[in-house]
Amino acid sequence: MKGQFEIKIPKFDFNYIGKKRKRTLSLRERQILYARAGGKCEACGRPISFEEMQVGHKKAYSKGGATTLSNAVCLCYRCNKLQGTDDFETFKKKMNGTYRKRNTAQSKRRRKRSRGPFEIEVPKFKLPF
């Protein structure tokens, strides 16, 4: 037949669209997490109520961390906001003040600080009058 043609439509699985990773823990998982933490923030140790508790990630969700009990920590509001996208071990080091601290051997080998252009010493001399 003249003027007719066949269009082939590729097969597409519509069930695959929209499958996202789990973002939040269920109520039961939150209760288990709270009991595991002993009712305290796992970063600062402050006692918190179940309603105050926020769930943090050991490895950030934005960096590929899963939302599971093994990757979750019980945090207060302040610590959850301070953690941001840091992993939990780095955040704890920052809280303790040991993040990027030099050990004693490194601190002995300090480099001399170079002088800036406005810190030049001008020699003193007396005028003859």
- pLDDT averaged per 10 residues, the chain (length 129): 73 62 86 95 92 92 87 92 89 78 57 61 72
Closest CA to 54 of 68, 73, 35, 31: 73
At 101 the pLDDT is 62
At 108 the pLDDT is 56
Sign of the CA dihedral with 10 first, then 11, 13, and 14 last: positive
At 126 the pLDDT is 78
For residue 21, give the amino acid letter.
R
Q: How many CB atoms lie under 10 A from the CB of residue 56?
A: 26
At 114 the pLDDT is 60
What domains appear along the chain, each with residue ranges and CATH number?
27-95 (1.10.30.50)
At 54 the pLDDT is 93
Rounded to the nearest 10°, the torsion over CA 92, 59, 40, 43 is 10
Q: Return the H-helix or E-strand segment holding 92.
A: helix 88-96
